[in-house]
């Protein structure tokens, strides 16, 4: 949505569009700004201003947030957001393999190490999760799926969406679409988005 409700704060926009969740204290609206250095436990800490790889958000959660809303505060046409439909991966790797591929979070969460499948059927048509940093294969089929998904991601065509003007808003189905950030060119470090997770949309 181009220049959607400019002048209205992102929390109000999110409440108008669906049911926002607060994934951690103070996290209803999250500021996303490029950082050359950051905590090593984050994408910015690992990739800095380089391209972020395709992933779904909070893929290590038992149930990742259903939707994410991205809203441009300061944008640049040179920094598109890339999207990839998981159906491309379903076709290449098969739901059978993805549904049997067991992964685990890189670190225990709340002291527990949960085993997760890359694909789980749901009433909404399935939930695909992918995060090459924070999820690790934990079974033989997991290893096979890991290789095949990576191969597919290296070769597939993605969709490029530019949120360049204040208020430009993108609602992503986090169970179906993977997203990635293109690299931040020199001089574009002031790019700022806000993000809100939603469990439902109106
Ligand atoms: Fe993300």
pLDDT score at 107: 84
pLDDT score at 39: 86
Ligand 1 centroid to Cα of residue 190, in Å, is 18
Ligand 1 centroid to Cα of residue 174, in Å, is 9
Q: Are 51 and 156 in contact (CB under 8 A)?
A: no
Ligand 1 centroid to Cα of residue 140, in Å, is 27
- Residue 149, number of CB atoms within 10 A of its CB: 23
**Which secondary-structure segment (H or E) carries 200?**
strand 192-201
Ligand 1 centroid to Cα of residue 180, in Å, is 7
- Could you tell me which CATH number the domain at 10-201 has? 3.60.130.10
Return d(Cα 56, Cα 61) in angstroms, integer: 11
**pLDDT by 10s per residue, the chain, length 202:** 888 888 889 999 999 999 999 999 989 999 998 888 888 888 888 888 888 899 999 999 999 999 999 999 998 888 899 999 999 999 999 999 999 999 999 988 778 888 999 999 999 889 999 999 999 999 999 999 999 999 999 998 899 999 999 999 999 999 999 999 888 878 888 889 999 999 988 8
Residues with Cβ within 8 Å of residue 2, at least 6 apart in sequence: 165, 167, 168
Ligand 1 centroid to Cα of residue 35, in Å, is 14
Task: Write down the pTM of the prediction.
Answer: 0.92
Q: Would you list the domain boundaries of the chain? A: 10-201
pLDDT score at 89: 96
Q: Ligand 1 being an ion, which residues bring their Cβ within 5 A of it? A: 57
- Residue 86, number of CB atoms within 10 A of its CB: 24
Ligand 1 centroid to Cα of residue 32, in Å, is 10
pLDDT score at 14: 94
């Amino acid at each position: 949505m181009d220049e959607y409700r400019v002048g209205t704060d992102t929390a109000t926009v999110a409440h108008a569009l669906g049911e926002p969740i607060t994934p951690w204290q103070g996290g209803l609206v999250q500021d996303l700004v490029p950082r050359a250095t950051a905590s090593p436990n984050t994408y910015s800490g690992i990739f800095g201003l380089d391209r972020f790889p395709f992933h779904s958000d909070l893929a290590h959660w038992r149930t990742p947030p259903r939707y994410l809303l991205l809203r441009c505060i300061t944008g640049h046409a040179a920094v598109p957001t890339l999207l990839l439909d998981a159906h491309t991966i379903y076709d290449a790797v098969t739901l059978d393999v993805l549904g049997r591929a067991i992964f685990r979070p890189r670190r225990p969460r709340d002291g527990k190490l949960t085993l997760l499948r890359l694909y789980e059927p749901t009433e909404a048509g399935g939930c695909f999760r992918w995060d090459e940093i924070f999820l690790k294969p934990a079974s033989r089929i997991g290893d096979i799926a890991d290789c095949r998904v990576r191969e597919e991601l290296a070769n597939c065509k993605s969709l490029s969406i530019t949120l360049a003007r204040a208020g430009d808003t993108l609602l992503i189905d986090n169970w179906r679409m993977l997203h990635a950030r293109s690299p931040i060119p020199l001089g574009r470090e002031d790019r700022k988005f806000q993000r809100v997770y939603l469990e439902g949309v109106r």
